[in-house]
Amino acid sequence: MKRLVVLISGNGSNLQAILDACQQGRINARVAAVFSNKANAFGLERARSAGVAAHALSASAYESREDFDRQLIREIDAYAPDLVVLAGYMRILSPVFVARYQDRLLNIHPSLLPKYPGLHTHRQAIANGDSEHGTSVHFVTDQLDGGPVILQASVPVFSGDSEEEVTARVQHQEHAIYPLVINWFVEGRLVMRDNAAWLDGNPLPPQGYAGD
């Protein structure tokens, strides 16, 4: 069975969706380990509750981002993952890390990329009066939130919405689409080729499968 390693920084709701999907057979793989840059991340408790190895590394113990990432690579590689999944991992990855897992590194970002890379995406959508917001699953490259988009899901933004309401709406979609994309990869349907996402032998449009 294919092995996943998941990286988190916080609550781990997308991690839970992945663990559930593996347990239910919707992802034909298992989570071999979970890593966090925050020792108090609740997602580590989710991993332990599921019987999955849980590890925390503190950036303050390393002199540079590259040193931290090299140690993270060594620990991840001990689990020989077929796919590395970022699920709310809030550290910017060094080029050495991205290169190590090139073509097998996924992220989910809470916006309809290329709109709103970086932080506070829901706040920006509300402040700008957007009527539509959403989430994107993409391959990771050296460009922050800039790798090829695989699948997007949109949600409405209503007048008077709070940031919490929009967040909950987006997360509901994230929990649906991330396991789906992970399983596409595990089953060999999804690959990254020529800096583009390909599904079932066909290149996806810039907005991913949902944009076709």
Question: Which positions are annotated as active-site residues?
Answer: 109
Which residue matches tokens 């996402």?
A: 197
DSSP state of 116: S
Tokens encoding 106 = 């996924």
Q: Tell me whether the omega of the peptide bond preceding residue 148 falls within 30 degrees of 0, making it cis.
A: no
Beta strand ranges found along the chain (DSSP E): 2-8, 29-36, 53-56, 83-86, 105-109, 132-139, 149-156, 190-193, 196-199, 202-203
Q: Compute φ and ψ for 105, nearest 5 degrees.
A: -135, 115
* Rounded-to-integer distance, Cα 68 and Cα 141, Å: 18
